[in-house]
């Protein structure tokens, strides 16, 4: 109860500390006190209480794979249409002999059902995708590890609107990039621009050197061509990755670069960077690229995967990433400028996922250190301020608490998060409705 007092986000500094003191006096667990202390212990404006329609709901989706819903900058759950159909693609590993599979819910998350057979049977694949207005689902699948040889594969899943069922388009799978022993692609992401051109960014390992490459398709994903753009610093440092994003009338690529540090060879320097192109340009035009920020914390995000990016309906970009605490960067499309990195609170964090609402508000989910719950921080466009962190999970959970949310949403925001127990990992579900 003492923590709930702080959830509304209307406390000043002394009141917030007083709330912490009351919680301590009542014997509240120390791990729970981050709710009052995060965000510098202060809420910057008054926010309405969150409208949870579902919370900690068991989906019945299990996995024996560490790639269950990986990586944070990839999207694994989508919501679309007036009935707000929701789809999720997960990696089940060798659980019930499944690989990459599709689940759907047509009743607000109450029931999740497996849709057909495996999309791709390999237990080594991860995926990213885009849901179209007609509820078709476009996916790219690739491997995560440099030790696996796997092609980058494109899939299109079509919906039968009468049966409310999805099936793989017979023209796919199609190969985006054909990996061989010495030239391997991995960590692929997907976007579609305002012309309908498909874009796929992926990490390429060539003769021991890692870099980011960008391919495109003009025919709906059947034939893929090299744009000629190469991003990041080519070197043997592997913890690189990229998310290609459609932002208004342009395509952007947000990427993690990693470079050796001559002064400290054991700890390389890590950066967030971006490149972009306008949709009216030729697909093989060079893309200007720039570094956005150098990461400060040496031990944060060891694999270069604890970050998330969303484009809102105005074409602005919003990037969250782990650098000790969770940091936030914003690209203002009208001004053509990036903000400086801001800390979203004082507690250390790791996994995070950002979603943009139709009204321009932002929702950032994160797993904060010292807690065993998912937390949420909201940005109000109307007030120009952030709320304090509030709990999403009702109960503490074991496991990684990796999470996935859609890039954009209208009225309802779903969240899937991974917990452990009972021998296999499983997915829990949360659904946020409009403010009451």
CATH number of the domain enclosing 304 = 2.120.10.70
pLDDT tens track for 414-431: 999 999 977 789 999 999
> What is the extent of the structural domain holding 208?
48-433
pLDDT at 7: 33
pTM, full prediction: 0.90
pLDDT tens track for 294-343: 999 877 787 899 999 999 999 999 999 999 999 999 999 999 999 999 99
**Is 37 part of a structural domain of the chain?**
no
**Is 38 part of a structural domain of the chain?**
no
Look at the chain and report how many structural domains it folds into.
1
**Is 199 part of a structural domain of the chain?**
yes
Weakly modelled stretches of the chain, pLDDT under 70: 1-46
pLDDT at 253: 98
**Using CA atoms, how far apart are residues 109 and 121, in angstroms rounded to an integer?**
25
**Is 19 part of a structural domain of the chain?**
no
**Is 377 part of a structural domain of the chain?**
yes
335: left (phi over 0), alpha (psi -120 to 50) or beta: alpha
**Is 309 part of a structural domain of the chain?**
yes
187: left (phi over 0), alpha (psi -120 to 50) or beta: left
**Is 191 part of a structural domain of the chain?**
yes
**Using CA atoms, how far apart are residues 24 and 73, in angstroms rounded to an integer?**
37
Angle (nearest 5°) at CA 282 between 280 and 284:
140
**Is 13 part of a structural domain of the chain?**
no
pLDDT at 46: 59
**Using CA atoms, how far apart are residues 211 and 277, in angstroms rounded to an integer?**
19
């Amino acid at each position: 109860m003492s923590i709930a007092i702080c959830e509304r986000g209307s406390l000043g500094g002394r009141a917030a500390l007083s709330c912490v003191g009351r919680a301590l006096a009542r014997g509240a667990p120390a791990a729970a006190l981050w709710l009052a202390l995060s965000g510098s212990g202060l809420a910057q404006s008054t926010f309405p209480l969150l409208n949870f329609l579902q919370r900690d709901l068991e989906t019945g989706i299990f996995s024996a794979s560490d790639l269950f819903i990986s990586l944070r900058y990839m999207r694994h759950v989508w919501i679309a249409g007036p009935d707000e159909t929701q789809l999720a693609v997960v990696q089940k590993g060798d659980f019930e002999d499944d690989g990459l599979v599709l689940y759907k819910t047509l009743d607000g998350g109450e029931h999740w059902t497996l849709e057909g057979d495996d999309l791709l049977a390999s237990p080594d694949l991860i995926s990213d995708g885009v849901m179209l207005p007609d509820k078709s689902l476009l996916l790219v699948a690739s491997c995560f590890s440099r030790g696996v040889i796997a092609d980058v594969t494109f899939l299109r899943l079509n919906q039968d609107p009468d049966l409310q069922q999805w099936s793989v388009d017979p023209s796919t799978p199609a190969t985006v990039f054909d990996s061989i022993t010495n030239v391997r692609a991995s960590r692929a992401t997907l976007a579609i621009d305002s012309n309908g051109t498909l874009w796929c960014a992926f990490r390429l390992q060539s003769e021991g050197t890692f870099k980011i490459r960008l391919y495109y398709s003009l025919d709906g994903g059947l034939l893929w061509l090299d744009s000629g753009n190469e991003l990041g610093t080519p070197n043997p440092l592997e913890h690189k990755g990229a998310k290609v994003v459609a932002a208004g009338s342009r395509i952007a690529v947000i990427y993690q670069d990693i470079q050796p540090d001559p002064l400290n060879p054991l700890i390389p320097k890590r950066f967030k960077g971006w490149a972009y192109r306008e949709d009216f340009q030729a697909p093989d035009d060079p893309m200007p690229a720039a570094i956005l920020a150098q990461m400060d914390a040496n031990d944060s995000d060891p694999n270069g995967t604890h970050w998330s990016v969303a484009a809102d309906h105005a074409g602005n970009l919003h990037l969250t990433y782990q650098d000790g605490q969770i940091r936030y960067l914003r690209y203002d499309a009208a001004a053509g400028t990036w903000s400086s990195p801001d800390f979203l609170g004082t507690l250390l964090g790791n996994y995070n996922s950002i979603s943009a609402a139709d009204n321009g508000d932002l929702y950032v989910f994160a797993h904060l250190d010292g807690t065993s719950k998912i937390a949420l921080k909201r940005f109000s466009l109307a007030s120009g301020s952030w709320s304090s962190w509030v709990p999403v999970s009702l109960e503490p959970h074991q496991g990684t608490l990796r999470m996935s949310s859609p890039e954009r949403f209208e009225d309802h925001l779903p969240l899937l998060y991974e917990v452990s127990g009972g021998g296999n990992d499983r997915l829990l579900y949360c659904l946020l409705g409009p403010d009451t």
